[in-house]
Amino acid sequence: MASDAVRQGWIQGGQGWVANQRIFDAAFAPLTAELVQRAGWRQGERVLDVGCGSGTLLEEGLRAGAEMVGVDISPVMVAAAQERVPAARVIEADAETADLLADAPGRPFDAVVSRFGVMFFGDPAAAFANLRRATRPDASMTFVCWRSREENPVFTQGAELLAAALPEPPPRPAPGAPGPTAFADAERLRSLLEEAGWREIGIDPFDFHCDYGVDGSDGVEERLAVILSSSGRTAWEQLQSLVGAERRAELLEAVRADLRAHRVDGVVRVPAAVWLVSARH
């Protein structure tokens, strides 16, 4: 199951994601469109969205005529998703261990989908097996997960200035540890899915740019908001007690200056690299 640290992180971090859901949706728009196309939901299908967050895929599924069920460990996310997509069923549970058909009664799921919601399992093979138990024979699973940190400036651009201001750099997670890049190793991911009983596994690279120029802006303030609520959140929280208000203001201006210096055609656009994964029950 998700560790206490992971659970608490999403309880706290979920607030920032919800507050900035419009920015996240805009930045991830190319990826979301590709994921929805590959999932190919049909009218009347019952779909489980794992780590549903604030409800982006729930909304997309309903638009396609699917019956959508979302699951998330963050109560903040669950409340936001239910408010945003009232026609979907949203449950607060750990998808690794929950009896998903008991928590969301109905027929077995025709499809499982996830956008960045599967990388935090304590025991990924057990979690993928649990998801498979909730699906019908020949059901599909389609999800997206990050590749390595080295391939993803989206983790570091701007945020590294906050981390560098700490007395000690934040520890790097061990390869394969629960977290954003848990499945950076495609062969390990394939082995976990096979161990869980999934077949016809496809793991394809997909590269895009997170465009933070929302509503015609240059994206600097939008990217800063994302940094403070995701990749730089932990460092920023630590800095609150380590440095004074003046120094914190200086750091934010330094981040803004760095983002302006890296604009592409006048807008903050940050490269991102993911795996698009498909499998069958």
pLDDT digits over 217-265, tens only? 999 999 999 999 998 999 999 999 999 999 999 999 999 999 999 999 9
pLDDT of residue 175: 87
pLDDT(1) > 70 = no
Look at 8 and 126; give whichever has higher pLDDT. 126
Q: What whole-number distance in Å separates Cα of residue 226 and Cα of residue 220?
A: 10
CB atoms < 10 A from the CB of 14, how many? Answer: 22
Q: What is the mean pLDDT of the chain?
A: 95
Query: Minimal CA–CA distance to 276: which of 211, 207, 230?
Result: 207
- 65: tokens are 């005529």
CA distances, 230 to each of 45, 62, 226, 235, 273 (Å)? 33, 28, 6, 10, 17
Q: What whole-number distance in Å separates Cα of residue 237 and Cα of residue 240?
A: 5
C-beta of residue 10 within 8 angstroms of C-beta of residue 186:
no
Q: What whole-number distance in Å separates Cα of residue 173 and Cα of residue 66?
A: 37
CA distances, 89 to each of 35, 71, 95, 179 (Å)? 21, 9, 15, 26
pLDDT of residue 169: 81
The percentage of the chain sitting over the pLDDT mark of 90, rounded to a whole number, equals: 90
Q: What whole-number distance in Å separates Cα of residue 235 and Cα of residue 231?
A: 9
- 178: tokens are 């629960």
Look at 145 and 11; give whichever has higher pLDDT. 145
CA 23 to chain CA centroid, nearest Å: 13
Check the CA dihedral 87-91-94-95 and report its sign.
Answer: negative
Query: Minimal CA–CA distance to 146: which of 56, 264, 61, 28?
Result: 28
- Which of the four pLDDT bands, split at 50, 70 and 90, describes residue 147? very high
Q: Collect all residues with Cβ–Cβ distance below 8 Å to 245 and sequence separation of at least 6.
A: none
pLDDT(15) > 90 = no
CB atoms < 10 A from the CB of 200, how many? Answer: 11
- Which of the four pLDDT bands, split at 50, 70 and 90, describes residue 18? very high
Q: What whole-number distance in Å separates Cα of residue 16 and Cα of residue 222?
A: 12
Q: pLDDT tens digit string along 200-219?
A: 999 999 999 999 999 999 99
pLDDT(3) > 60 = no
pLDDT(88) > 80 = yes
* Distance, first Cα to last Cα, the chain: 22
H-state helical runs in 137-215: 159-164, 186-195
- Which of the four pLDDT bands, split at 50, 70 and 90, describes residue 171? confident
Among 111-115, 152-156, 180-184, 229-233, name the one with the lowest average pLDDT: 229-233
Averaged pLDDT for residues 165-175: 87
